[in-house]
Chain A
Amino acid sequence: MSANVNKIVLRMYRIGTGDCFTLKFFKDDTGQPSFTMMIDCGSCKGDSAKFTRFVQLISADLPDKRLDLLVITHEHLDHIIGFSRAQAEFKKLKVGQVWVGWTEDPTNTLAAHLKEKYGKDVKALKTAIQKMSAFLADPDYHARFTGEFSGTRIMAAKSSFSRGLEESLALYQDPAPLGVTGKAKGKKAVADAAAPAAGAPAPGEMARAMDYILNGLRAQTGQAPFYCYPGKPVPALPGTEGIRFYVLGPPENEAALKTEEVKDDVYDRKTSFSQNQGFNAALEGNTDEDSLPFLSCFAMNPDEKKAAYKKFFDQPDNRYRNIDTDWLNYAGALAIRLEKYINNTSLVLALEFTGSGKVLLFPGDAQSGNWESWHDPALNWKIEKGGQTLTVTATDLLNRTVFYKVGHHLSHNGTASRSGLDQMQSPELVSLATLDYNNINTIWKNTMPSPGVLTTLTAKAKGRVFRIDEGLLQTPAALAERDKMSKAGADAFAASYKVDPDFIELSFNG
């Protein structure tokens, strides 16, 4: 006779800016969970020792070292690197099932097509980084700018930009091997230009993590990972009676996946970038006539070209006008686009208490296109309740959301307004953001937290917002909201959470 799950205890582990959640489902007060699950394990910063310690903590908290379900939302460093850096610890766990998004399904043609298409962009980005690093390592190149008043700042800016690109690439790829041009060989290369971004994965780590998730874990689970499709049923999960799992995303639609920001659906809208094959082709170094803009009769021959280059770029009064690396700045747009695309492939799960209807929402790092797609009229679920068949839509689920794991670490495009936050109506809403300012990518510092999202969220959740670094949010607005709670309400809230140096724990009663 199985009772229903009536409590979920959620822990967000404070590794750094990155997701790592465990959920324990309880049917009674014995303290023994009937079901355990984990969503992601990663962080922007943190070495093997750190991850190992956390995974050991997690393991100690799981009865019998048993993890019934492991969910991986998407292939970004801050969600999966733990599987490489603490792999040995994970291997000690008993794992029931692994769920990933359909974008990893080898039999899905759209997934294969997307992998190939974005694979080209990744290749282009790596090449751009290589080329830029080669220039930055070349003392001759430096010498062009050092006479200028802002010369050192220019070079510092270029180096920092290159590092920013590497950081962005490191989110989802092992770093590119850094090339050194022939000119610089034998000369003392400029130190900071060639060093990879601190905290970036060592070569092979990301690949190792993904390989473990998709293949290595089969040894522990005894089966292949389950590829989740929005709206489609999920496998049975013994021990979760009373909880229904909904898959809302990623959408099986290329246009939606490409959509990073929808104008009226995003807080603090920024610009977005479209694809540019010409740039990729130029990086490949393709020089046959078809890919060049003009016929070769217009080009100078090698001798003329050498003389021209010398005349226009190698004289003391025009060296500073060099444009060899400016076209590579576009790689920045490429990097941003790639990061956003992968974010949009996030697996989105909603967990519902079948009795009360309360929903816990885990959107990974989904962005506009993903959020919008949940409201596609074709996406709905038919459930049995009280002898009737009801149709559930994403709006219903959002209306009843009592827990929202903030998308993409409180960035402006990780939380939709019209398609998302606006529809969260529950007065019990609590929110957690996996943002840790002390352990974060430099390039993210300006984009997180987004003031628009934070303000709205604080108001909706009546100040019940947590961040990895601060614990319970301490902004004046949040404090003001919490002050408004009645004594009973405040007591109940205080009883429902616990802030520990290593984790933040929340309990939800069904």
Chain B
Amino acid sequence: MNNNAPYLIRRPDYRKLRGYAFDPSLSLNLDTVVINHITYKVYWEDEFVPAPPGDPNAKPKGILKPGPSGEYIEVVDYDPSTGIFYLPVDLNDHYILAYDGLDASESNPMFHQQMVYAVAMTTISNFERALGRKAMWSPRKVNDPTGQYTMEFVQQLRIYPHALREANAYYSPQKKALLFGYFSAAPEDMTLQMPGSLVFTCLSHDIVAHETSHALLDGMHSNYTTPGNPDMLAFHEAFADIVALFQHFTFPEVLRHQICKTRGNLESQNLLGELAQEFGKAIGHYGALRDAIGGIDPETKEWKPKVPDPAEYSTTMEPHDRGSILVAAVFEAFITIYKSRIADLLRIYTGGTGVLPDGAIHPDLVDRLADEAAKTSGHVLRMCIRALDYCPPTDLNFGDYLRALITADVDSLQDDTRGYRLAFIDAFRKRGIYPEGIKTLSVESLVYKAENIETLNTKFDILGNFLRSFREAVYYTQDRKKIFDITKVYIAGGRPGDPATQGIQGLHQRIASKFDGSMDFERLTGLVFTDNWEQLGVRTSNAHHFPAPSFSIDSLKLANRVGPDGKIINQIVLTMIQRAGVTYHLANPDDVSTVQFGAYLPQKNIPAPPDSFELKGSCTLIFDLDSLKLKYAISKPLLDLAELSNGRKAINAKRRRAQFDFICNEDNFNAFSLYFGDSFASSSLEPFAFIHQSC
């Protein structure tokens, strides 16, 4: 469109697309149909920027193609079980634009494509807003001729709305795609759902948001799909559930309806606390698949709130069940905060008695309560997403996440007048989730700290200047591929022969040379940088023409946000990983306690020896670019730090043993992974496909 006077005809801020707020099942019930249809507001992807003149290959940017296929998402409606390709929807068709998208319809696959696009884009934009940077998908690893692999940028996440014929939906890290299934309902209560009717998982807001969150989390921390402890896959599940849950609270109409119905008490069963209604009903469980705050009592068939049980955390291992402990903790924190925020409103409304009169509450109060709930949920969602920057890149457990939550909050808000942090700590404590290695459960002890090590400060100074130049390079570009490419150059170094980048010495080389032989840096990060690394099972790298212990820089990201005192803070988040090969041998095969460990060097194209695993040490470093100081060091040490302070280098025995126990523990997730698990022995292949097999 020829737009000579852009200020007269403004480019839209968003595209409106109608969809289900929950899923189609609520449209069958008079009670709930009013809240089930909402209009998603999705980032307008149709900026017409004409191709730059003189470049025959350049294309106009940002056009939303039929599919829909845009900047972040490509919907491909192919059903492999029937071999049918469905016609893609063109969201720019003027009829569709005029009416805020197609009518909600279970029988029109084009609506399915629209819905999946709308929900995925909404989730992505919530993420971007919380993190203050562009969302990236985890890169694709492609073999290169030398036997190494390169990371290729993945522009679009693929969504297959009709890929499976079962009650399942999952994110495939290998394909960088979401696969949704559809199936015939087999409900326990035939009055809630017609038996045999088709249920489409792609039409459930919760399921789509959940799967998209898996993809987004994978984009930030791609090592979380290779579990080394029972919490990691559970965390993936929990995080995805949390995003879906709190995203719901951003729908004002739904919120108001629920607050009215529950008379402000969001703790009792309500639609918002349940995940995946239709899905759950259709496969034969009452209520929803995963109910964060309570469940249906199998005997009375009535909803019952869930009483936190600290024993659960030590006994429950199945990822969904374990994850729901975390979801329940976060939800409880939310409720506590919400209650404290509305306490004064209720006092005013009831004249101090605190007892709500019978019947419906006043609509003005409903509005105010809805307001508070929306605000609180926005805060909680933001806290939960921001905390990801403060998590170690490997071996995450729930305790680490609590520390990350608190640290992230302290980093963004000076005065916690509402007691958000205490609410979180309390909720976690009630469920027996405690971080390791801290002496007291207080905000001050939970916050990560970076020791002020004088000998490192000058080196950090110089490094900081380099990181500042990285920020300059990346800060002004909106093009995600460019951001990816620049980051790659800054990590690995400039490409020889490329005038634009060849002068740049990469971060990896800088760290390798600057901290080579630095025992202080070893102590800070828990990774080997001095000598004797091969004895510990760490490979030698000659990447920079001198033998050094191999380590990788997992990610390098900019963080811009408003700081505690209202000023913009500029930080760099940098994560490093180091791998050590560990072999094990059982002196008595029947007795796990007789295990003895050895080391091997993991090589790129040589398969690992039998009876071995890789122990990963990692570290997240957060630099403050304004002061050029290291602000936080969050480490999962490869080295035993106690031994290190005695001058001896040894692998961290506690972590090694914990990972060994995890590998040996037969208490695996489900029958499927037990029977066929060896087939997918490396869980980086399809970790979510079988976890999501319906129970």
When chains A and B are docked, how far (Å) is the Cα of A348 from the Cα of B239?
A: 47
What string of 1s and 0s marks CB contacts (under 8 Å) between A178-205 and chain B? 0000000000000000000000000000
Check B175 against A336 for contact (C-beta < 8 Å). Answer: no
Chain B neighbourhood of A446, CB < 8 A: 666, 668, 674-675, 677-678
When chains A and B are docked, how far (Å) is the Cα of A499 from the Cα of B577?
A: 53
- For residue A323, CB closer than 8 A to chain B, the reply is yes
- For residue A387, CB closer than 8 A to chain B, the reply is no
When chains A and B are docked, how far (Å) is the Cα of A326 from the Cα of B163?
A: 8
When chains A and B are docked, how far (Å) is the Cα of A323 from the Cα of B160?
A: 9
- With A294-B107, A295-B107, A442-B678 known as contacts, the answer to whether A312 contacts B174 (CB < 8 A) is no
Report the minimum CB–CB distance from A393 to chain B (whole Å).
Answer: 25
Check A150 against B184 for contact (C-beta < 8 Å). Answer: no
- With A276-B165, A300-B85, A327-B80 known as contacts, the answer to whether A332 contacts B675 (CB < 8 A) is yes
Check B165 against A164 for contact (C-beta < 8 Å). Answer: no
Check B676 against A164 for contact (C-beta < 8 Å). Answer: yes
When chains A and B are docked, how far (Å) is the Cα of A165 from the Cα of B78?
A: 26
- For residue A57, CB closer than 8 A to chain B, the reply is no
> Which residue from chain B places its CB closest to the CB of A293 in the assembled complex?
B198
Partner of B176 from A151, A321, A327 at Cβ < 8 Å = A321
Residues B632-685 near A (CB distance < 8 A): 666-672, 674-682, 684-685
When chains A and B are docked, how far (Å) is the Cα of A21 from the Cα of B568?
A: 78
- With A153-B682, A312-B76 known as contacts, the answer to whether A273 contacts B693 (CB < 8 A) is yes
Chain B neighbourhood of A215, CB < 8 A: none
- For residue A157, CB closer than 8 A to chain B, the reply is yes
Interface centre among A147, A165, A287, A332 (most CB of B within 10 A): A332
What string of 1s and 0s marks CB contacts (under 8 Å) between B83-123 and chain A? 01111000000000000000000011110000000000000
What string of 1s and 0s marks CB contacts (under 8 Å) between A446-461 and chain B? 1100110000000000
Chain B neighbourhood of A391, CB < 8 A: none
- For residue B81, CB closer than 8 A to chain A, the reply is yes
Say which one of B137-145, B527-535, B622-630 lies at the interface with A: B137-145
Check A150 against B678 for contact (C-beta < 8 Å). Answer: no
Number of interface residues of B (CB under 8 A): 71
Chain A neighbourhood of B669, CB < 8 A: 271
Chain A neighbourhood of B179, CB < 8 A: 323, 326
A-B residue pair count with CB separations less than 8 angstroms: 191
Partner of B85 from A153, A308, A443, A474 at Cβ < 8 Å = A308
What string of 1s and 0s marks CB contacts (under 8 Å) between A277-296 and chain B? 11100110001000011110
Check B164 against A443 for contact (C-beta < 8 Å). Answer: no
Check A282 against B82 for contact (C-beta < 8 Å). Answer: yes
Chain B neighbourhood of A149, CB < 8 A: 141-143, 149
Report the minimum CB–CB distance from A361 to chain B (whole Å).
Answer: 25
When chains A and B are docked, how far (Å) is the Cα of A161 from the Cα of B677?
A: 8
Chain A neighbourhood of B72, CB < 8 A: none
Chain A neighbourhood of B81, CB < 8 A: 279, 282-283, 327
> Which residue from chain A places its CB closest to the CB of B160 in the assembled complex?
A323
When chains A and B are docked, how far (Å) is the Cα of A121 from the Cα of B107?
A: 28
- For residue A509, CB closer than 8 A to chain B, the reply is no
> Which residue from chain B places its CB closest to the CB of A163 in the assembled complex?
B679
Partner of A292 from B82, B177, B668, B679 at Cβ < 8 Å = B82
- For residue A274, CB closer than 8 A to chain B, the reply is yes
- For residue B689, CB closer than 8 A to chain A, the reply is yes
- With A149-B141, A295-B107 known as contacts, the answer to whether A320 contacts B175 (CB < 8 A) is yes
Check A305 against B149 for contact (C-beta < 8 Å). Answer: no
- For residue A333, CB closer than 8 A to chain B, the reply is yes
Check A164 against B142 for contact (C-beta < 8 Å). Answer: no
Report the minimum CB–CB distance from B54 to chain A (whole Å).
Answer: 26
Chain A neighbourhood of B680, CB < 8 A: 157, 161
Check B163 against A323 for contact (C-beta < 8 Å). Answer: yes
Number of interface residues of A (CB under 8 A): 67
Chain A neighbourhood of B167, CB < 8 A: 276
- For residue B454, CB closer than 8 A to chain A, the reply is no
Report the minimum CB–CB distance from B328 to chain A (whole Å).
Answer: 20
Report the minimum CB–CB distance from A289 to chain B (whole Å).
Answer: 11
Report the minimum CB–CB distance from B161 to chain A (whole Å).
Answer: 11
Check A154 against B78 for contact (C-beta < 8 Å). Answer: no
Residues A211-234 near B (CB distance < 8 A): none
- With A161-B676, A161-B680, A278-B184 known as contacts, the answer to whether A327 contacts B87 (CB < 8 A) is no
When chains A and B are docked, how far (Å) is the Cα of A322 from the Cα of B172?
A: 11
When chains A and B are docked, how far (Å) is the Cα of A271 from the Cα of B289?
A: 14
Report the minimum CB–CB distance from A379 to chain B (whole Å).
Answer: 24
- For residue A47, CB closer than 8 A to chain B, the reply is no
When chains A and B are docked, how far (Å) is the Cα of A274 from the Cα of B694?
A: 9
Partner of A327 from B165, B588, B591, B674 at Cβ < 8 Å = B165
- For residue A475, CB closer than 8 A to chain B, the reply is yes
When chains A and B are docked, how far (Å) is the Cα of A31 from the Cα of B690?
A: 56
Partner of B165 from A300, A324, A330, A451 at Cβ < 8 Å = A330
Residues A87-144 near B (CB distance < 8 A): none
When chains A and B are docked, how far (Å) is the Cα of A476 from the Cα of B670?
A: 28
- For residue A384, CB closer than 8 A to chain B, the reply is no
> Which residue from chain B places its CB closest to the CB of A335 in the assembled complex?
B675
- For residue B590, CB closer than 8 A to chain A, the reply is yes
Check A320 against B140 for contact (C-beta < 8 Å). Answer: yes
Chain A neighbourhood of B108, CB < 8 A: 294, 298
Check B685 against A153 for contact (C-beta < 8 Å). Answer: yes
Partner of B175 from A157, A308, A323, A442 at Cβ < 8 Å = A323
Chain A neighbourhood of B164, CB < 8 A: 326-327, 330
- With A323-B177, A333-B672 known as contacts, the answer to whether A299 contacts B141 (CB < 8 A) is no
Partner of A279 from B166, B186, B198, B693 at Cβ < 8 Å = B166
Residues B160-200 near A (CB distance < 8 A): 160, 162-168, 172, 174-177, 179, 181-184, 186, 198, 200
- For residue B158, CB closer than 8 A to chain A, the reply is yes
When chains A and B are docked, how far (Å) is the Cα of A337 from the Cα of B304?
A: 32
Chain A neighbourhood of B200, CB < 8 A: 293
> Which residue from chain B places its CB closest to the CB of A475 in the assembled complex?
B590
> Which residue from chain B places its CB closest to the CB of A261 in the assembled complex?
B671
- For residue A329, CB closer than 8 A to chain B, the reply is yes
Check A168 against B86 for contact (C-beta < 8 Å). Answer: no
When chains A and B are docked, how far (Å) is the Cα of A287 from the Cα of B83?
A: 10
Check A147 against B142 for contact (C-beta < 8 Å). Answer: yes
Check B109 against A294 for contact (C-beta < 8 Å). Answer: yes
Report the minimum CB–CB distance from A355 to chain B (whole Å).
Answer: 39
Report the minimum CB–CB distance from B89 to chain A (whole Å).
Answer: 10
When chains A and B are docked, how far (Å) is the Cα of A305 from the Cα of B177?
A: 20
Partner of A447 from B143, B160, B590, B674 at Cβ < 8 Å = B674
Chain A neighbourhood of B149, CB < 8 A: 149
Check B685 against A160 for contact (C-beta < 8 Å). Answer: no
Chain B neighbourhood of A325, CB < 8 A: 80
Chain B neighbourhood of A322, CB < 8 A: 175
- For residue B283, CB closer than 8 A to chain A, the reply is yes
Check A271 against B679 for contact (C-beta < 8 Å). Answer: no
When chains A and B are docked, how far (Å) is the Cα of A356 from the Cα of B319?
A: 49
Check B679 against A164 for contact (C-beta < 8 Å). Answer: yes
Partner of A154 from B165, B678, B685 at Cβ < 8 Å = B685
Chain B neighbourhood of A445, CB < 8 A: 678
When chains A and B are docked, how far (Å) is the Cα of A274 from the Cα of B666?
A: 24
- For residue A272, CB closer than 8 A to chain B, the reply is yes
> Which residue from chain A places its CB closest to the CB of B162 in the assembled complex?
A293
Chain B neighbourhood of A254, CB < 8 A: none
Check A150 against B160 for contact (C-beta < 8 Å). Answer: no
Interface centre among B81, B186, B284 (most CB of A within 10 A): B81
Pairs of residues from A and B, 6 with the lowest C-beta to C-beta distance, nearest first: A149-B141, A161-B679, A282-B81, A160-B679, A271-B670, A149-B149
Offer 23 A-B interface pairs, CB within 8 angstroms, sorted by A.
Answer: A147-B143, A154-B685, A157-B680, A164-B678, A271-B671, A274-B283, A276-B166, A276-B183, A287-B82, A293-B109, A293-B162, A298-B108, A298-B109, A308-B78, A309-B78, A320-B175, A326-B179, A330-B164, A332-B676, A332-B690, A333-B672, A442-B678, A443-B678
Known: A149-B149, A160-B678, A277-B184. 16 other contacts (CB 8 A): A146-B143, A157-B686, A158-B679, A164-B675, A271-B670, A272-B671, A278-B198, A294-B86, A300-B87, A305-B84, A305-B85, A321-B158, A321-B176, A327-B165, A442-B678, A447-B675
